[in-house]
A = this chain, B = another copy of it.
Amino acid sequence: MLERSDVPPSLIAAAAANFAVVRAHSVALAAPLSDEDCAAQSMPDASPAKWHLAHTTWFFETFILERFEPGFAPFHQAFRVLFNSYYNGVGEKHPRAERGFLTRPSRQMVADYRADVDARMARLLAADLAPAVASELASLVELGLHHEQQHQELLLTDVLHLLSRSPLYPAYDEGFAAPVASPAPGWRGFEAGVVEIGHKGGGFCFDNELPRHRQFVEAYELATGLVTNADYAAFIAAGGYEEPSYWLSEGWAWVQARKIRHPLYWVEGAGGWQEFSPAGLRALGPARPVLHVSYFEACAYAQFAGARLPTEAEWEHAATIAPLPQMFGVAWQWTSSSYAPYPGFAAAPGALGEYNGKFMVNQYVLRGSSLATPAGHVRATYRNFFPTDTRWQFTGIRLAR
């Protein structure tokens, strides 16, 4: 998870300012939630909001304060284990599926933890630091804030999953904006050739976006917009979930075993399909993009539509030379690319190096960003990744051919 941007020592003040803004945004995201909402965990893949608030704080305490703060003493001894996510290098972890059992420490205690670490971080960043230390510190702060922004999106998707399990279908925020409608159907063509993908430098990126390198792509077309709810409803109406020939073999087994019949948050009502969203349950907007579909569903729909999913190289190349509507800010777009290291990829040494490389198997890359991605956390080179049956993220479909 080493970031690679060059941070002049003078930027330490900027880091401190950014720190305050990003940290405050996490708290704001949890504001509509009750203490109960913050503590519950509705599946092992999701985490309680309280856990996100604590774990992002743990990151600063463990990877920055522990190293740079004079006379460091942890806020609470047990938190080192409790709020470690998956860093084997740091030591033991609390079992992931049991995060919802941690009603203690309380939400208030976690708020105190955040305030304490924030104050210590502010002191540290205001201190008189040697230039080399300041530079490294600024880099680590930037990394920690990007890490926190990832958890901001997860916090929202995890809360949405939790609220979806209550038959009351409570809204997270009734005023939460719906995604924009897709444009009229259309395709944009791109020529074959050797293209460059990966981060160019000049700004932050994660290690998995490096190194920039060449790939050969054949000529291809990308859909100008995302597949809509109306498109997907037609797939369902045509028996899409009952016809094995549309599905990957493993996808078909998943559909059968889990009795999947529609996107995760679609609810069949007397008046037709509804969808659950951060704004609560609402009628399905036919022109809005379909959300919360798995890689299996995305592939099956593409097969049904006589198309395919783009590769990540195709997507990034297009995003660079001729961006299309809905590439960012609506839904993460499944690509057909298995998540793998770029040629010449090197993970960072130490615990921080566990971040990306070890997940590079049996996951697929998603590109773009979603309506839940924080501002300042969006790049054409960004590589999101999830297993093939994941649906609780804001995932959608852009076709290629």
A residues contacting B by CB (< 8 A) are 34-40, 42, 78, 81-82, 86, 88-89, 94, 98, 100-107, 162-163, 165-168, 170, 194, 213-218, 244-245, 247-252, 295-296, 299, 308, 336-338, 340-341, 343-344, 354, 358-362, 388
Contacts and interface: CB of A to CB of B under 8 A. Distances in A.
A194 B217 CA distance: 11
A360 B344 CA distance: 25
B343 A362 contact: no
Given A101-B42, A168-B78, A36 B106 contact: yes
Contacts of A39: 36, 39-40, 103
A167 B34 contact: no
A102 B100 CA distance: 12
14 contacts: A36-B39, A36-B104, A36-B106, A40-B40, A78-B167, A88-B245, A94-B167, A102-B165, A104-B166, A194-B194, A214-B216, A218-B343, A247-B358, A252-B358
Contact of A215 (B37, B102, B216, B248): B216
Given A216-B215, A361-B251, A107 B165 contact: no
Contacts of A215: 215-216
A284 to B, nearest CB: 22
Contacts of A343: 217-218
Given A248-B360, A338-B340, 7 more contacts: A36-B36, A36-B39, A36-B106, A42-B101, A88-B252, A89-B245, A218-B343
Contacts of A340: 336-338
A53 to B, nearest CB: 13
B166 A102 contact: yes
Copies of chain A in the complex: 4
Contacts of A88: 244-245, 252
B103 A40 contact: yes
A341 B388 CA distance: 16
A38 B40 contact: no
Contacts of A337: 340
A371 to B, nearest CB: 23
A348 to B, nearest CB: 12
Given A218-B214, A249-B359, A361-B251, A100 B103 contact: no
B362 A81 contact: no
Nearest to A170: B104
A57 to B, nearest CB: 17
A360 B303 CA distance: 13
A312 to B, nearest CB: 12
Contacts of A299: 361
B218 A82 contact: no
A337 to B, nearest CB: 8
Contact of A166 (B37, B103, B249): B103
A272 B93 CA distance: 24
B218 A98 contact: no
A152 B2 CA distance: 48
Contacts of A360: 248
Among A36, A166, A216, A337, residue most surrounded by chain B Cβ atoms (within 10 Å) = A36
Contacts of A105: 166, 168
A213 B106 CA distance: 53
Nearest to A361: B248
Contact of A104 (B168, B194, B295): B168
A213 B336 CA distance: 17
B194 A216 contact: yes
Contact of A250 (B170, B247, B361): B361
Contacts of A213: 218
Nearest to A350: B245
Contacts of A103: 34, 36-37, 39-40, 162-163, 166
A14 to B, nearest CB: 34
A104 to B, nearest CB: 4
